[in-house]
Structure 1
Amino acid sequence: MKFTSTLASLLTGASATIYYAGVAESGGEFGVWSATATKGTGLPGRFGIDYKFIDESTVATFVDSQKVNLFRVAFLLERMCPPATGLGATFNETHFDLYKQAIDYITVTKGAYAILDPHNYMRYNDPSSQPYSGSVIGNSSDPTAATTAQFGEFWGELAGRFKDNGKVIFGLMNEPHDMATSLVLANNQAAIDAIRAADAENLIIMPGNSWTGGHAWAEGTDPSSAIMQNFEDPLGNTAIDIHEYLDVDFSGSHQACVSDPATNLAEVTAWLKTNNLKAFITEFGGSNTTECATMLADMVNYMADNEEYIGWTAWAAGPFWGSASPCCSDSAQYGSLEPGSKAADGSDGLYTTVWQKVLLPLLPTTLAWEGTATVKHE
């Protein structure tokens, strides 16, 4: 790994295109998976036992010691909007207050930026066996599905509560999949309309279809590249949310990294350029192999070298991973990107072997720390 040359390249200009960088905080979506796929399992769940959004001390480590300025914080729609009352503007206020406490710590106390991440795969009402359980939002043929209008109503309410905090970024949905791309666009548009109607000027990041995979952006008979550019934002402050893993099937579930990021992001990058759009890659990651280290560095350098990309969050940190590995379920337990994380055998975890050794040396020194998040950097 040639960190000296690649880091020099970043610091001499390319990194100026990346204004927001950090980690995905995974944990707010925990506590619902059920081997028997029992609907309602883990809802609402016990905060601090079944699920938790962040650990304030480790967020402080990222910000104070490492100068990270972005955190993507997952939550479940079913906890924020209980199925008993449905998706919309009626919130579980206790749950919202806990979530807001985490977001305020990141953005107000530590002065960083936070992406709100409804980690629901464009589904609602049954997270017991994500990513496939639950009804597709806006599916008019499913009488149990929340409607596109309800999705907009939810985002209007959430946006109204955070509109005075410009360091909050609205990530509309995690990884829509196995649905019509036109419905993904319709749901995205309903959310954008409701956010702007709430007088929120915050940066929005919207996903595509097919798990919002960059490699899949132009693939298939119903690709995101055909229509996703047709969204409308009167403020022009919307970016594209992309995920891109490096293993054989782009799932992030295998130890080996074999998918070259520059090759697999070429088409989506060209699409972004053609449509004059900016993007965040809010999920990417890998294990502690030599091949993964090389490809992860290549991923960060690729984003820095292409002005279409303005931010990234690596997958994943979070308070409840323990020795489990967010990158690779087919390998041993190597720990996560959470500071202090260790592997199951007590050796250095991915925090040390991947974050500190590979990603942190490539963190741009020109990250934004002031003002409302925006796509319009000079």
Structure 2
Amino acid sequence: MKFSVSAVAACAALLPSVSGTIFYAGVAESSGEFGVWSATATPGTGLPGRFGVDYSFISNSGIDTMVDKNKVNLFRVAFLLERMAPLSYGLGAKFNETHYNYYKQSIDYITKTKGAYAILDPHNYMRYNDPSSQPFSGSVIGNTTDKTAATTAQFGAFWGELAKRFASNEKVIFGLMNEPHDVPSSLYLANLQAAVDAIRKSGAKNLIIAPGNSWSGGHAWTQGGNEATGNWLHKLVDPLNNTAVDIHEYLDKDFSGGHIACEQDPVTNLAGVTAWLKEHKLKAFVTEFGGSNTTACATMLNSMLDYMSQNEEYIGWTAWAAGPFWGTASPCCTDSAQYGSFEPGSKAAGGGPSLYDTVWLPVIQKKVPAKLQWSGLATINGGALTSKPSHY
């Protein structure tokens, strides 16, 4: 993402003023990271796991509804590094091919059968080797003081292999890592750079999205002194200049997405990162956000979605979360109450309406643009905006 600011400014001076445009909009698919939690923090729990029993990636029928009825064109699909690159191999270019093929089938269904775009999401918090107590367990990738940690080079090798396998699919977007946290920012940046370098060396031209440190929180982008994401991420170099920023922003008191009450105004809290994006001429996705089914949350979600659509720095979003294995449990914003998820057809405990019924349809669905990008390579500049093609 490093480039000549003077050249960009010169080009910008020749262009008319533009308003914001959302090219990609949809939902995060969370279930591929399931099945490894251990109440006793026992390493190795649930690995490799049974596909379709302990974890899954998508429900084809759920994707059908989201694309055909809800007209979304983007899905962020979670997986675990420890399943794709098992501990017996170590992180790197050697994959569990059975697991990879399950994942590829899901990505192909989204991108080739339904014509939408898919973000590959290693849901690992910049850690590898023990997801039993995510988001805190596991060794920080690249930590040279931890003999059990995967190296920065291994992280690059992993992304080089994954990118090579998806390079021919222009609708695949590479999300480098979910929510790095408690990682020195110099190491965080080195890991991201290794991944970008390996991706481009593989020949892949696909759009990359690079996360912030500190859980990718937009509100925290310029906080933390020298360690703040805003002091580091703009230094990431992509020779193709096709890398966007990956931001998360929840609306509850501690920005965790765990509580019913929405108390943090997203428009106010995104102001700092938006100014940073403008300063460095960067584009962004908000790949996690959400709220409960309260009036206050509906108001804030509306404001947030309008804010993204009105600021050209934001080109895409995925709400948290759908997924075939949530059942009546909720991925966001319920103080652990079981209100279901954004998965179409899901129900709350007792058979009541789910968050799909009470938050997605009445609030978020209304903000899905009528026209999105449905063809061509995903890029930071977007592509032609159309209604969903009838042939999908």
For normalisation by structure 1, the TM-score amounts to 0.95
CA distance in 2, matches of 1:180, 1:301: 34
- How far the C-alpha of 1:298 sits from its partner, in A, is 1.0
SS at match of 2:118: strand
**Matching residue's letter, 2:85:** C
**Contact 1:14/1:304 (CA < 8 Å) preserved in 2?**
no
Note if contact 2:26-2:73 (Cα within 8 Å) is conserved in structure 1: yes
The match for 1:86 is 90
Shift of 1:251: 0.5
Superposed, 1:1-378 pairs within 5 Å as: 17-221=21-225, 222-328=227-333, 330-377=335-382
CA-to-partner distance for each residue in 1:7-62, whole Å, 9 max, x for gaps?
xxxxxx99861000000000000000000000000000010010000000110111
Conserved? CA contact 1:25–1:53, under 8 Å? yes
Counterparts of 1:73 and 1:219 in 2: how far apart (Å)? Answer: 29
Alpha-carbon shift at residue 199 of structure 1 (Å): 0.2
**Distance in 2 (alpha carbons) for counterparts of 1:16 and 1:244:** 19
Q: What amino acid maps onto 1:96 in structure 2? A: Y
User: Matched residue of 1:302: which SS?
Assistant: helix
Change (3 A) 1:16 1:230: closer
Answer whether contact 1:16 1:364 (CA < 8 A) is retained: no
Shift of 1:208: 1.3
Distance, in Å, in 2 between the alignment partners of 1:376 and 1:65 is 26
**Which one-letter code corresponds to 2:353 in the other structure?**
D
CA distance in structure 2 between the partners assigned to 1:174 and 1:219 by the alignment: 19
Q: Which residue identity is paired with 1:117?
A: D
2-side partners of 1:356 and 1:80: how far apart?
A: 34
Q: CA RMSD in A?
A: 1.2
Mapped to 2, the partners of 1:309 and 1:148 lie a distance apart of 29
Percentage of identical aligned residues? 71
Question: 1:345, CA displacement in angstroms?
Answer: 2.0
Q: Distance in 2 between matches of 1:40 and 1:353?
A: 37
Which 4+ stretches in 1 moved above 4 angstroms? 13-16
In 2: Cα distance, 1:213 partner to 1:183 partner: 18
Corresponding letter in the other structure for 1:114: A
**1:17 aligned counterpart, secondary structure:** coil
Q: Give CA-to-partner distance per residue, 1:69-125, whole Å, 9 cap, x none.
A: 000000000000001110000000000000000000000000000000000000000
For 2:390, the equivalent position in structure 1 comes to none
Structure 1 gap ranges (5+) = 1-12
CA distance in 1 between partners of 2:371 and 2:69 (Å): 15
Name the CA distance, whole Å, in 2 between partners of 1:357 and 1:223: 36
Amino acid at match of 1:199: G
Q: In 1, Cα distance between the equivalents of 2:104 and 2:79?
A: 11
Please give the per-residue CA displacement for 1:135-184, whole angstroms capped at 9, x wherever unaligned.
00011111100000000000000000000000000000000001111111
* Distance in structure 1 (CA, Å) of the matches to 2:305 and 2:131: 32
Matched to 2:259, the amino acid is H
The aligned residue for residue 6 of structure 2 is none
Following TM superposition, by how much is the alpha carbon of 1:129 offset from its aligned partner in structure 2, in angstroms?
0.6
Deviation at 1:329, TM superposition (A): 5.1
- Equivalent residues of 2:292, 2:334 under 8 A apart: no
Letter in 1 for 2:102: L
Larger CA deviation: 236-245 vs 285-294: 285-294
| 2-structure distance, mates of 1:149, 1:343 | 44
Q: CA deviation at 1:366?
A: 1.9
Amino acid at match of 2:149: A
**Alpha-carbon distance between aligned partners in 2 of 1:98 and 1:367, rounded to the nearest angstrom:** 28
Classify 1:331/1:92 alpha carbon distance in 2 versus 1 (closer, same or farther; 3 Å). closer
Q: Return the letter of the residue paired with 1:178.
A: D
Separation in 2, partners of 1:254, 1:14: 37
**SS of the residue aligned with 2:193?**
helix
Provide the aligned length of Structure 1 versus Structure 2: 366
Partner letter of residue 141 of structure 2?
I
